[in-house]
Amino acid sequence: MRELIELKSFLTEPELAGIDRLIGEGAEKWLPRPGPQTDAYQSEADFLFFGGAAGGGKTDLLIGLALNAHRHSAIFRRQYRQLQAIVERTAEILGSRGGYNDQKKIWRLADGRRLHFGACQNPGDEQGFQGQPHDFKAFDEIGHFLEAQFRFLLGWNRTTNPDQRCRVVCAGNPPTSPEGEWVIKFWAPWLDPEYPNPALPGELRWFATIGGAETEVEGRHLFEHKGERIGPKSRTFIPSAIDDNPFLLATGYKATLQALPEPLRSRMLNGDFGVGREDNPWQVVPSPWVAAAQARWQDAAKPRGVKMDSLGVDVARGGGDATVLGARFGNWFAELQVYPGGTTPDGPSVAALA
């Protein structure tokens, strides 16, 4: 396997196809290129983000893992029409469309593997995949997905085969809208310049949900929290770029990326996660205004001698929601006070808090 990977960078596409025919049945259906693509292919992370810039072989990695390393796979794009290119690329790798059901968007291979192609164009569409287990969940252009969609679909990343590994691999470029900001937070050790403990590309970091909040923890070992045994999951980010792909470099694609206007050029060519993002055209308050207001609040101290003049209350009468109280002192707002809905089942209990 390693020798083939090292040889691949020196061969043309027809030569690679010829080697595939000579190797015959039982061989890997796809081989990663040496460099970041191989690092990602062999990564032990439970949650891998691969990419950043354009042309680094992101989609090929998702297809290759599904064809070689997993039994039941799901590859998602935000819109169904965006799946067609992935289906066509899969057919190129396999050499035919045999076993593919276009109506159900399921590819059944002769060795028993299944590839499911899905999309979540509208909020709530992810509910249609509830209860469908896959040992491999892949997201192409992860920045286009809502965080709620992504986390919902993770619930069925499972298998009944103890010898089959489960993992989630995401591919994509830097997010272009505020809706994709969650990607930077999810992989903060690699993408957020203000993260207090930055990580190196490919380095494994472990996270667990403690008290409703995701927290970085030391290592993979199970630990107890309030009587519950919690198992951390690992994450990593491996950047890739056009320079890692000799086939696209030979076609002059890099010059195409260099000709793009900013900030698209920096995103697609360099994988720059720090360049400006555009708000949704229907967004009422611009995101820079929100960020500036948050910064002012963090820098400002509670004004002395100013009494509370108003109190906002968002009431939850039981259930999984929360009752929230927000006090205002002149032009300064205090930190929100949040109470579980179960502690405010009726009006009198909310009134007492107010």
How would DSSP label each residue in 97-118? -TTEETTTTEEE-TTS-EEEEE
Q: Which of 74, 78, 124 is nearest to 104 (CA)?
A: 74
**Residue 105: its pLDDT value, please?**
96
Q: What does the pLDDT average to over 40-68?
A: 95
**pTM value > 0.85:** no
> Which of the pair, 36 or 245, is modelled with greater confidence?
36
Residue-range domains of the chain with CATH = 32-270 (3.40.50.300), 300-353 (no CATH)
What's the pLDDT tens digit per position in 255-290?
998 998 887 888 888 888 876 566 777 788 887 888
pLDDT at 38: 96
| CB contact at 8 A, 197 and 203 | no
**73 beta partners:** 115, 136
* Alpha-carbon gap, residue 331 to 48, rounded angstroms: 44
φ, ψ (nearest 5 deg) of residue 95: 90, -5
3-class DSSP state of 87: helix
SS3 assignment, position 329: strand
- Predicted local distance difference test score (pLDDT) of residue 5: 52
pLDDT confidence of residue 8: 57
User: What is the identity of the amino acid at 40?
Assistant: A
**pLDDT value of residue 24:** 45
Task: Work out the pLDDT band at 164, boundaries 50, 70, 90.
Answer: very high
What is the 3-class SS of 239-299, one letter each residue?
Answer: EECHHHCHHHHHCCHHHHHHCCCCCHHHHHHHCCCCCCCCCCCCCCCCHHHHHHHHHHHHH
